[in-house]
Structure 1
Amino acid sequence: MAGGVKGSTGRPDGRATRWEGQRERRRAEFAEAAITAIERYGPDVLTEQIAAEAGVARPRLYRHFEGKADLQHTVCQRIVRRLMAELAPVWRAGGSPNEIITSAIDTIVRWLGTHRQLYRYLVRHSRRDPAGRGDAITDFTGTFAVNLGRLLAGALRAAGLDERGMEPFAFGLVAFVEAAIGRWLAEAEGGTAEQFTAELARSVWRLIEGMLGERGLRPDPERPLPDSAGIDLLDPNPH
């Protein structure tokens, strides 16, 4: 309820506020326990195994969630936030387009490769839940694609060129990367992580270069981006 639960005086009820804060802390703790259990038992982890990892009985675990779907949604969101935290330094470091693309792909490939059980859990359980909350993976890739589209459009706009169509292109590009990484994780047919990352990074740049080139913009892949082009591609509310 907006503004918190209020007592008869109209002021927020302190007990309700404390309970809500405690509930959120416990949800976070149980989600972390679930991640540990997933790493140990795999994506088909049982609720009983999660509860055992958290050191509580199954009924007590569900006191803090509105059923299994709510638990899965919370866990998926937390897994995605871990990946986002790994990616954050990529944007802060800056660099050339090639450096940024390669570093981002390398980070994602290595993190998901190290945490394959978490990736499999995401694939199976990241979906819109009954409460209408979004799919964790879609929220992540969608935010990335929207901001990438804005970055590319901004580069074209600064050069006085046609910027239309960059958002659909960015969504297609992100979907391509997501599918390629998912296939490599499933089959590893693309050689080592280093080889796969290098080839995928080259493919991504070729697509970006081709699209921008058609509009008359030919950026140097090895030239550092100007500070004015900086944008956190994972920020859901970019300035």
Structure 2
Amino acid sequence: MDKLFGKKPTVKEQLKENDRALRKVNRDVDRDRRELEREEKKLEADIKKAAKDGNKQVATVLAKQLINIRKQKTRTYTANSRIQAAGSTAKAMGANVKLTEAMGATAKTMGQMNKVMNPQAVAQTMRDFEVANTKMAMTEEMMNDTLDDILNESGDEEESDAIVSQVLDEIGIEISGKMSNAPSAHKGSLAAKPISDKNADADAEIERMLAQLKS
């Protein structure tokens, strides 16, 4: 059908056709060699009979025919080896053709990818991504700083202490036991006087100054 319509066979089909033809030729050669072997045996028997009968002339003619038969049989072995070599060569050529087709398809695909992938566009996309990523990181940092400022200014000291205590508890530190041993300000002459004592001293100083003026 392909031959009728002039369709070119594929590499696989051509390899199958070549292999089929070579196997047929090989079988024909084997058949010819078997016929030669039968003729060889017949000639050997005829030569023995002529020699036994003392007919040297016939034995010589038959011996020459035997030599030719054996030469022809040797040629069949050579033909078989060449046919096998031709088959191997055809298979190797077919493999090379398939490899070439695969490389051609790969080159075509790579060419299409090169057309689609614009190096300048890819580089610009990467730069845009880097800029956007940097802006996002800066925005997140500014938002975190703003939230920290707002939360610190709202300043619920008790809530802050509770959070600190919770964190310390989670890491296994008992703040109550540790803080009870913390040093405190010393009491004594260096301690500040109560406000009532300061007022009493001021009144006494004023009365003393008035008494001096009266005298």
TM range (shorter): under 0.3
Larger Rg: 2
After TM superposition, the score normalised by the length of structure 2 is: 0.20
Question: Whose RCO is larger (CA < 8 A, sep 6+)?
Answer: 1
After TM superposition, the score normalised by the length of structure 1 is: 0.18
